[in-house]
Amino acid sequence: MLAFSSRQDEADPPRVETILGRQVPQRYSRVLNERGVFGALLRSDLPVYIDPIPDGNERSLPRVAVAVRAGDEVLGSIWAAVNGPLSEERTEALRESAKLVALHMLRVRAGADVQRRVRAGLLSSALEGDASASGALERLGLSARPLLVLGLALDERRQRQGHPGEAPPGPDGAAVAHTRHRLTDAFALHLSSAHPRSAAAAIGPVTYGLLPPGSVEAAEVEGMRVVHHFLDRVGERLPAIAAVGPVALDAPGLAHGRTTVDRVLRVLRERGGDRRIGRLEELQAEALVMELRDIAATRGDRPTGVLANLIDYDRRHRSDLVGTLRAWLESFGDVTAAADSVFVHQNTFRYRLRRVAEVGEIDLLDSGQRFSAMLQLRVFHSESAAEPGQDRGAGA
């Protein structure tokens, strides 16, 4: 919510909650979405009449809403509490109001775009950690103090799914760019509430933030709290992942902090699951494996030794010795647990494990060979997977 009018003494509960929370309460958004109100706003430039939303014994007034447009782009919408459907005269007045609001929003956005570019340039210079970093930090008002590096990026999995009241991002990327601007603006505002000297700007797909911590010792804990609060507040309206970097005590430390944030965001983006916040100390092993994959791909490396033997055997015999080895290693050598994980009898699994040792020419009692096999499985995981259509339960 950007603005609201006066006469709050006449406001009904939905309006009060929206003003205090600066957003439409989720239970109302859900009902509006189910009624198709948001879709109607996107499709038409005419006002949409909305019957009162029942909420227990609380009184609620009807609403009239109209989209604020700039050409084909929807910038927002105007909502008015009314006693009933509008007359033709008031309907036309609301439509004209939407045009005026659109002009105002475009002017504000144009000015904000200039400020974004300037701030992003300064923040980018600061995070490079080179000779220009000191001057950039001074212009940002952040010189000569420890700084915590934070990073945010859109959660592309949730972004593709969309959320109530908003259309999914289009293939042209305009909606994604708009959502990134919203994420950056919201994060900058959130950081300023945590510390007035903080700074945030989008550089490419990542929104970086610099936060002066209360104490160096507890800086990362403070950073985790700040991003947790932010993600909880924006919820699914701005689906994002976040990384908390180390405290930077000088310009080279800022460059290291940016690299750390980028590594953590990559892990969160590619690993899947529901985790949305991370630090390198928790995700370093996964980051290293991903970087090993990059090195192997750049060199054109292919699996060799044990893994190559097993992959070749599986392809020729439509078996899954690679899966057997993976299950055994991930179960720490517990045959019972490994057999359960691939849904076979323990004796069947033991037989397949003997075939792994024979075909792969690996000594499963040798810790070094076990580590080498596990590392290859992690680095070449996609190439060691069974081929499409292969019977994963086939014997050896």
pLDDT per residue as tens digits for the range 173-221 = 667 777 888 888 888 888 888 887 888 888 889 999 898 888 888 888 8
Sheet holding 240-248, edge to edge: 199-203, 206-211, 147-154, 240-248, 277-278
Give the best-scoring range by mean pLDDT among 3-17, 186-200, 206-220, 355-369: 355-369
359/271 same-domain check: no
Q: What is the mean pLDDT of the chain?
A: 83
137/242 same-domain check: yes
Domain holding 186: CATH number? 3.30.70.270
Return the biggest CA–CA distance within the chain. Answer: 86
In a domain, 345, yes or no: yes
Separation in Å, CA 113 to CA 141, 175, 186, 202: 20, 16, 15, 11
pLDDT per residue as tens digits for the range 243-294 = 999 998 888 888 999 999 999 999 999 887 788 999 999 999 999 999 999 9
Mean pLDDT value of segment 34-47 = 87
333/276 same-domain check: no
Give the best-scoring range by mean pLDDT among 134-143, 216-225, 324-333: 324-333
In a domain, 5, yes or no: no
Predicted local distance difference test score (pLDDT) of residue 295: 93
189/269 same-domain check: yes
Of 269, 292, 315, the last residue of a domain is 292
Of 292, 321, 338, the last residue of a domain is 292
In a domain, 226, yes or no: yes
pLDDT per residue as tens digits for the range 81-112 = 888 888 989 999 998 999 898 888 887 766 66
Radius of gyration in angstroms for the set of CA atoms belonging to the chain, rounded to a whole number: 28
246/336 same-domain check: no
In a domain, 98, yes or no: no
Predicted local distance difference test score (pLDDT) of residue 75: 82
Of 263, 292, 321, the last residue of a domain is 292
127/75 same-domain check: no
In a domain, 152, yes or no: yes
286/330 same-domain check: no
* Residue 21: HSE in the Cβ half-sphere, 13 Å Cα cutoff: 13
310/372 same-domain check: yes
- The rounded Cα 354 to chain-centroid distance in angstroms is 44
In a domain, 100, yes or no: no
Q: Specify whether the CB–CB gap between 185 and 177 falls below 8 A.
A: no
Encoded amino acid at 136, one letter: A
In a domain, 319, yes or no: yes
Predicted local distance difference test score (pLDDT) of residue 124: 83
Predicted local distance difference test score (pLDDT) of residue 335: 92
Domain holding 357: CATH number? 1.10.10
244/139 same-domain check: yes
Taking the C-alpha atoms of residue 292 and residue 378, their distance in angstroms, rounded to an integer, is 9
Domain span at residue 54 reads 13-86
Give the count of domains, the chain: 3
277/315 same-domain check: no
Answer whether residue 394 shows pLDDT above 50: no
231/272 same-domain check: yes
Answer whether residue 160 shows pLDDT above 70: no
Answer whether residue 396 shows pLDDT above 60: no
In a domain, 56, yes or no: yes
Q: Specify whether the CB–CB gap between 275 and 268 falls below 8 A.
A: yes
Report the relative pairing of strands 206-211 and 48-50 from DSSP bridges: unpaired
Q: Specify whether the CB–CB gap between 69 and 77 falls below 8 A.
A: no
Taking the C-alpha atoms of residue 321 and residue 81, their distance in angstroms, rounded to an integer, is 67
pLDDT band at 349 (very low <50, low <70, confident <90, very high): very high
264/121 same-domain check: yes
DSSP for 40-98, written as a single string:
HHHH-SS-EEEPPPPBTTB----EEEEEEEETTEEEEEEEEE-SSPPPHHHHHHHHHHH
